[in-house]
Amino acid sequence: MSRFNVNQTHPLIPRQQNYVLEKKLISFHSEDRDIKQWPKTNIFQIELPEPLSQVQSMRLVSVSLPSNQYVFSNEYQNTKFSFSIDLQGEIQEHIVEISEGSYTPDELATEIANTMNFKIVEKNESTYSQISTQEFFRCKYNKIKNTFWFGLLGHTNPPTPANFKTVIRKFSLNFQKKMSYMVDCNSTEVWENYAKWGLPFYLGYEKKKYISTPTPYNPFFSTIADTTNGRNIGGAFGFNYEIKDTDLSNQASGHWLNQPAISSSNNLIVDISKNPCTMNILGEDWIYMEVEKHNTIDEIRPYSTNTSGWFNNDYNGKVNSAFAKIPVENNAFSSGFVKNRNILSNVSFYTPPLARVKRFKFKFRYHDGRLVDFKCMPISFVIEFNVLRDEQAKTMNVIVPPSYMFS
């Protein structure tokens, strides 16, 4: 049977469906956005120089992000916690707020201790003399167990109003209290999560109240007497791996709370030896990039608590929630450039092809929905578009002159 239309005097030759796959690269920079409409780099929209038609696939081929991203930020709701002191029966509550940024464990311990001491001085310097020269709280990082400790120094003088330390009986860490933050309207609430719910979580603590107790017995500091049981409860405190000798005058002995006088009050600590968590201040490993209407990666929602129950089952997932998953390199004060195809394996195919695309809206977030706080640092990336170009088959006879020499 003929494939031509023979029912008319002028038969038509059927049109062949021939297409050429054309690769189109487009470079995007955060500086390309309208800053009045999109003030932050974690969400912005870009209009292409010219529309693209018949888009068969697209993928992220390279991306450059700042690698010195903050671990602690007001936008992440992890810069504050509450603590209280018992001041001769009067309970004073204070709010600690650390500076935004990234810390080493020792830097974070110093930042928190200084902030706690400043809060006490600021509140009580008009009532108690000599308070401005006192050190009350000390924080210490246990390098072996990767834990973070809080301690309060016992006084070394007889109880007098001139020495503020004599009137502090105990302290508590109120990690069960929700802190308030002024955040962007697009930010995600983190308090109800069981992870990354606030600064105490990053320090290795749970969402509960911790009350101080005297420092435990340590045979390395047995010179301190205790009339109740003959042991040095409440004396100098040190991690065993740091203790080198029993001479408390030697700073190399490893104690981080001073030796109080026998007649004075004891040192206090929050004992977290049985705490199941450890410090986690490394930051995020992955950033999710969303492209509105063009996402193809599925995700499971985090922080489920009842995935097997018949009632109130909170298992949840989202289809087409992200366009690409980008690894984060934690190198301070630099930019991380990713172009490895094995990592950025995020090709998105469209059947049928997209008829026309003109603008793209981008969003950068973490897995739990928190927007990445780039702190005005620029970002850039390249997206590859594969478009189909309609082309009629052509038969071309090319005659090459004999004198033409190929190199």
Q: What pLDDT score was predicted for residue 205?
A: 96
Higher pLDDT, 7 or 82: 82
Comparing CA positions, the residue from 264, 94, 79, 80 lying closest to residue 171 is 94
Higher pLDDT, 332 or 158: 332
- Over residues 149-157, mean pLDDT: 77
Q: What pLDDT score was predicted for residue 39?
A: 93
What is the rounded distance in angstroms from the CA atom of residue 160 to the CA atom of residue 171?
20
DSSP for 23-51 reads: EEEEEEEGGGS-TTT--STTEEEEEEEEE
- Over residues 198-223, mean pLDDT: 86
Share of the chain above pLDDT 90, in %: 45
For 225-241, the pLDDT digits (tens) are: 555 555 557 778 888 88
Q: What pLDDT score was predicted for residue 13?
A: 59
Q: Please, what are the domains in the chain? A: 20-69+294-390 (2.60.120), 74-269 (no CATH)
Residue 250 pLDDT level (bands cut at 50, 70, 90) = low
Residue 86 has pLDDT above 60, yes or no: yes
Q: What pLDDT score was predicted for residue 358?
A: 92
Residue 365 near residue 180, CB atoms below 8 Å: no
Residue 99 has pLDDT above 90, yes or no: yes
Q: What pLDDT score was predicted for residue 243?
A: 81
For 381-398, the pLDDT digits (tens) are: 999 999 988 776 666 777
Residue 4 pLDDT level (bands cut at 50, 70, 90) = low
Q: What pLDDT score was predicted for residue 19?
A: 78
For 285-343, the pLDDT digits (tens) are: 899 999 999 999 999 999 888 888 788 888 888 999 999 998 887 655 445 555 555 55
Comparing CA positions, the residue from 161, 165, 141, 140 lying closest to residue 151 is 140
User: Omega into 402 within 30° of 0, i.e. cis?
Assistant: no
Beta carbons within 8 Å of 163's beta carbon, 6+ residues apart: 130, 134, 155, 157
Residue 181 pLDDT level (bands cut at 50, 70, 90) = very high
Q: What pLDDT score was predicted for residue 336?
A: 54
* 81: three-class secondary structure by DSSP: strand
Q: What pLDDT score was predicted for residue 231?
A: 59
Residue 42 has pLDDT above 90, yes or no: yes
